[in-house]
Structure 1
Amino acid sequence: MKIEEQVVTTVAAVLEQDPYVNLHEFPLQLDFASGVLTLEGNVENIMAKKRALEVAGAISGVDRIVDRLRLVPASPMQDGEIRDHVCNSLVSENYLGTCAVWAIVKGKAEVVREADQDMDGNIDVEVQDGVVVLNGAVSSLSAKRVAGVMAWWVPGSRDVVNGLEVIPPQEDSDDEVVDAVCLVLEKDPFVNASQIRVRSSGFNVTLEGVVRNQLEKKFAESDAWYVFRVDQVTNLLMVSE
């Protein structure tokens, strides 16, 4: 068996065993050449997407991954509708109140919130085939992460490419991740963040505490997965009912 075929077979076998990745209902196309593995296809949710990338990247011989995995949208939307929802979410988010917001429509920038002397950042929003692309600059890693989650929360989003630059640059850390996850949980109206404890080690997040029901437990875990650079989530939340 050629090395290319061997790597593809190994990746497929490992993904088959992963509890988050449902290859039976959501089969993926795998291609491997010169150390580059391409994953393409639809996945059920953010957990499946990130787990597939994490598991595949750990296989011997895989040097780089091309990510073409797309979420099946909770509510199918046209690109313009997704873009409008993302822009409105960014504008209404107080944490991003000092960021100008621009919508990129057919390659041209349209003002959503105009820049002024009090602004310390700018966010460009473009959507192509359900994939939200964020470019520009923000003043903190937390702002970058919150903007990304706002885009993920739009039901029609199939993927989010967070290209926001942090100016001045900040060193990332587990503490930064914990702060961002806590901030996102507080902003989720379906989650009681006061009852949830967040830990992170090596960008692997652990959630502990008590939630009201299974749905809240699921929402809290999804929120953590949505946060930029979170590689793994261990959900130890207990349901009170």
Structure 2
Amino acid sequence: MNLKNRNLFSAYGFLVSVLIISFLGSVSCGAVIKSDSDINDAIMRQMEKDDVVSPHLVDIRVNEGIVTLDGSVDNLIAKERALNIAGSILGVVEVRDELVVRPIEIPDQAIRQNVKQALEDNPVTELMALDVKVENGVVSVGGEVKSITEKRIAEKIAESIAGVRSVRNEIEVSVKIDRPDSELAAEIRQNMKYDPYLNAQSIDVAVKDGVAVLSGETGSVFQMGRARRNAFILGVKRVDSSDLIVKPWKEYPTEMQDSTAVNVEAAVASALSSDVRVNRENIRIDIRGHKATLRGTVASLYEKNAAEDDASNVTGVWQVSNKLKVRPQEVPSDDAIAGKIRVALKRHTVTEPHEITVTVRNQKVYLYGNVQNITEKNMAENIASQIKGVAAIDNRISVVDAEDAEYLWKSDQQIKEDIRDELFWTVFVEAEDVNVMVQDGTAILTGTVNDWQEVLAAIENAYEGGAEKVKSDLDVRNNEDEQLPPASRDMHPYYYFGYF
């Protein structure tokens, strides 16, 4: 996939977009110099719209594209979101973190118990012998794991617990298998080649004594992080990306991926095999056109969802039909499952403030209650999916603000201008490829984009611009007249894109 490879280059990950002054109109994106003050304003506007970040005490400084965030937020997930938003803005070349976390006050012993229990509940970390210490809300996690990804998952679990100020990840990666450096490098290159959010031509990969070294250029800070994550494969001890730099204005040569069914199937298989959350041996893959169908059995709903995420993030896949059956190896009683989920929801920093009712019948979880936004609703479901014995979830949580808030009226012309601004600033869409019309509050998008992920990004940009409804008539290059799958604003978990 080549996003913004004419005048701008972009990566795609956390679906965020920002505003620029509307008088720029139809000016070519490549001709516009993005000033530090414009970047500053763009970051703050996006933070103010975010479901997780409350930026009233966040200060932003920008100097020649280098962004420094300082001030305070109330939890580590909000801190990570703020950093991700800054890194996703076009023109940002580096993000420096000086943010302080000021969480709710919880005794260290309670935090330690919650972290240990969360690690035991997660299917990836449940059998790891990890040591957890807490002092003044600072969590230290030590021990030994087999991969960088496992180390990262453990860290993210600790960061999600209410009351945690910071996490010191002292886990050591001890590679238990002996894989040649050449084999590791080939797998990393394969992962990057079929990653729809990267241009693999711009990144060089070398592996020496199990250390992956990445060099070259990327189009955004997010893309740099995405490249690193593609190197987190079994057998790699460490990833060195010190020679990988960000050049937002670089024009890359067009790269055409071979997206035949055979190659896409191999790419999906490789993505599943590289994910420690998934047991690849039990999954069958069928590729027809741009639709991937997954069949077989998995041990948990968490694994089923992870497999779908992996397949969705492969170049050439626009739609995933997840027919995997969840067959837990250990089946606690329904009451035990419900109790575990209630505890997990109360210890998580995002869902802790809300009263969520949990009912379990025959291993199917029913969630009820009220939350403030779709991110909190989706996070509750994600938390429940990690609990042992859960085979399915019916999420009936209501998003109160979305239902009760009055629509802020804007004229069709103002909505159109705001959508154009969103498309201009985002690193996820080639703005010049998307035409926008607005009729009675409904945005109509036409044009031709690079892939299905870019369609979703443009739809989200239209909502962020103020549209009440969005109708997408966007075509995809090299589509061969294949019908695009239906799009929904809530169908993609962009806020927590990754391993957790």
Give, in whole Å, the separation in 1 of the partners of 2:303 and 2:364: 15
Give deviations 1:191-210, integer Å, cap 9, x for gaps.
Answer: 558546xxxxxxxxxxxxx4
Query: Are residues 1:54 and 2:84 paired?
Result: yes
Query: Are residues 1:145 and 2:303 paired?
Result: no
DSSP 3-state at the match of 2:95: strand
DSSP 3-state at the match of 2:104: coil
Give, in whole Å, the separation in 2 of the partners of 1:36 and 1:145: 28
Give deviations 1:192-232, integer Å, cap 9, x for gaps.
Answer: 58546xxxxxxxxxxxxx403237x948716859xxxxxxx
TM-score where L is the length of structure 2: 0.29
Equivalent runs, 1:147-186 vs 2, <5 Å:
148-150=156-158, 152-153=160-161, 155-162=162-169, 164-168=171-175, 170=234, 173=275, 176=278, 178-179=302-303
**Which range moves more in the overlay, 165-174 or 67-76?**
165-174
Cα deviation for residue 85 of structure 1 reads 4.3
Query: Are residues 1:10 and 2:42 paired?
Result: yes
Cα deviation for residue 93 of structure 1 reads 3.7
Query: Are residues 1:90 and 2:111 paired?
Result: no
Equivalent runs, 1:53-132 vs 2, <5 Å:
53-77=83-107, 81=108, 85-86=111-112, 89-90=115-116, 93=120, 95=125, 99=129, 101=131, 125=133, 130-132=137-139
TM-score where L is the length of structure 1: 0.53
- Equivalent residue for 1:211? 367
Amino acid at match of 2:52: Y
Conservation of the 8 A alpha-carbon contact between 1:46 and 1:222: no
Among 55, 58, 82, the alignment partner of 1:28 is 58
Conservation of the 8 A alpha-carbon contact between 1:142 and 1:179: no
Give, in whole Å, the separation in 1 of the partners of 2:396 and 2:44: 33
Among 41, 59, 78, the alignment partner of 2:71 is 41
Cα deviation for residue 57 of structure 1 reads 1.2
DSSP 3-state at the match of 1:59: coil
Amino acid at match of 2:146: S
Q: Evaluate the alpha carbon distance shift between residue 213 and residue 75 of structure 1 in structure 2; reply closer, same or farther with a 3 A threshold.
A: same
Conservation of the 8 A alpha-carbon contact between 1:43 and 1:49: yes
Give, in whole Å, the separation in 1 of the partners of 2:36 and 2:52: 25
Q: Evaluate the alpha carbon distance shift between residue 222 and residue 49 of structure 1 in structure 2; reply closer, same or farther with a 3 A threshold.
A: farther
Q: Evaluate the alpha carbon distance shift between residue 36 and residue 237 of structure 1 in structure 2; reply closer, same or farther with a 3 A threshold.
A: farther
DSSP 3-state at the match of 2:141: strand
Cα deviation for residue 39 of structure 1 reads 1.5
Query: Are residues 1:239 and 2:397 paired?
Result: yes
Conservation of the 8 A alpha-carbon contact between 1:41 and 1:70: yes
Q: Evaluate the alpha carbon distance shift between residue 163 and residue 72 of structure 1 in structure 2; reply closer, same or farther with a 3 A threshold.
A: same
Give, in whole Å, the separation in 2 of the partners of 1:73 and 1:56: 22
Give, in whole Å, the separation in 2 of the partners of 1:60 and 1:30: 16
Conservation of the 8 A alpha-carbon contact between 1:146 and 1:180: no
DSSP 3-state at the match of 2:57: coil
User: Percent of aligned pairs with the same residue?
Assistant: 21
DSSP 3-state at the match of 1:8: helix
Conservation of the 8 A alpha-carbon contact between 1:132 and 1:160: yes
Conservation of the 8 A alpha-carbon contact between 2:138 and 2:168: yes
Give, in whole Å, the separation in 1 of the partners of 2:370 and 2:38: 39
Amino acid at match of 1:54: N
Greater share of strand residues, 1 or 2?
1
Cα deviation for residue 19 of structure 1 reads 3.7
Give the number of aligned pairs: 185
DSSP 3-state at the match of 1:5: helix
Q: Evaluate the alpha carbon distance shift between residue 53 and residue 181 of structure 1 in structure 2; reply closer, same or farther with a 3 A threshold.
A: farther
- Greater RCO structure (CA 8 Å; 6+ sep): 2
